[in-house]
Structure 1
């Protein structure tokens, strides 16, 4: 069982501490950056006021994008990204073993 790290992240200028397995840290940081960017876009549009409403609108927009991605041809892009990430880790490990031979 892997250990859980506590990461401090910032979204829209607010600090949050999030628990995360070490192997998922990069994906989490990408998700934080994506959410922060979406929330700032909504705030900067000037149509939505208040951090709570901005967060809800961002969640709805992201959920809508996710649902459309899954429906299109039954393709789950997030699942493909996870699989590709695992394959990349396997390849990296294989290269490490090969480099030790030389």
Structure 2
């Protein structure tokens, strides 16, 4: 069905982009805790979504520690909205 995005359909990636949809950006450690995944798992998903242009990431210092901040790009936000609309169409077809 048109609109389903295989790049963000995987559960962890979908949780990641929906979590980021409510904020301008979030700290990597905060996302790791919220999604209950390891650093390596989150890093892999973030990298794939950055490569696709759905996320941006930047390095910085917070409370004296180096950290990575991650946020949705306009392209990523649009992809999420289109994916959600496609899922809603599927749900409506069941009812």
Using the size of structure 1 for normalisation, the TM-score is 0.32
> Which protein is richer in strand relative to its size?
2
Using the size of structure 2 for normalisation, the TM-score is 0.34
Higher RCO (CA-CA < 8 Å; seq separation 6+): 2
Q: Which has the larger radius of gyration?
A: 1
> Which protein is richer in helix relative to its size?
1
